[in-house]
Amino acid sequence: MCRLPHWTHFSDRLLDAGAGTGERTLAILAHSQPQAVTALDASTAMLAVAQAKIQNSRVQFVEGDIRDLPFADNTFDVVVCTWTVEIMADPRAVVQEFIRVIKPDGIVIYAFCSLPEGRVGAVLAHILARVATAQGPLSHLLTEQERPFHRCDRSSLRQFAGGLTTVATVAKCCAVTDALLPCRAPRLTGGQGG
């Protein structure tokens, strides 16, 4: 099981975006002490499974679309999402939506399937193109050019499993819709970040 970092110093409100059946929400509760967790998913059935297994008053279940989050700007301290952005038509817009809802000193942590670089990636891309059809598309592996990421002092990008998995963190200052844009300085209100 993946160990999540302890976010106790800044995790008053946490959004589990694309919560599915609640496994990540359970891991968050087991390995950190957020005051409130919002488990959001587009599927009523998935949320019902999550609600059945998670009996914790700190968790609120919300049906919603990660492409258009039903929350105000600057709502969460942390947004966590895994294995979801790569299946969206516009992964960058999804991550930018996550950035919108974090507080000025917040952070977004997301993992996605990625296409390895080099020969292995080229062979895998060729195989996937041959077996995928319009009626039966395969999960998308994001290439380096498609990755929703903005490199700055407050972001990080790590790859695992030979490049098939990427874990990224970005902050409020990041503009992932255009990686060439400079960082936006986060606006802190009264030095409190929110």
Give pLDDT, residue 190: 41
Give pLDDT, residue 4: 40
Domain boundaries, the chain: 13-113+142-171
Give pLDDT, residue 164: 87
Give pLDDT, residue 185: 63
Burial 67-77 (b: 16+ CB within 10 A, else e): eebebeebbbb
Task: Specify the CATH class of 13-113+142-171 in words.
Answer: alpha beta
Instruction: Give pLDDT < 50 ranges for the chain.
Output: 1-9, 187-194
d(CA 193, CA 104): 5
Give pLDDT, residue 108: 97
Give pLDDT, residue 67: 97
